[in-house]
Amino acid sequence: MHVRLVKTFTFEAAHWLPTFPDGHKCRRMHGHSFKVDVIVEGDAPESDGYLMDYGDIKQAIAPVERELDHHLLNEIEGLENPTSEMIARWIYDRLRPALPLLSEIIVYETCTSRCHYCG
């Protein structure tokens, strides 16, 4: 059976968006309570009844979450321009080696704004 598993994590961080025009509110430093969905996808063997252990996904996420939580994103290598799009790709690139079944990252910057990245 083909399935998609979703494991969610959150982090608090500050950033500013250096490519936005002068005077734009996002050009100033501000913070968000980010939410991230990590999605793995594949065929779960009928004999096992599951694709992978959620605990393994959580373990893969932990170092990424620590690197982002309560940091200024602009100071993290690769996130000098920390838009939702860039954050999603950055997370995907770091998780992919540990999660070969990774299919998508969704970054929620606010309750109503999110970015989907599929690698």
State the Cα torsion 87-90-95-97 to the nearest 10°.
170
* 111 assigned to active site: no
Which of 12, 24, 30, 70 is flagged as catalytic? 70
As beta bridge partners, residue 3 has 42
* 32 assigned to active site: no
* 109 assigned to active site: yes
Pairwise CA distance, residues 25 & 6, whole Å: 32
Give 96: exposed, middle or buried? Use CB within 10 Å, 0-12, 13-18, 19+: middle
Catalytic residues: 26, 70, 109
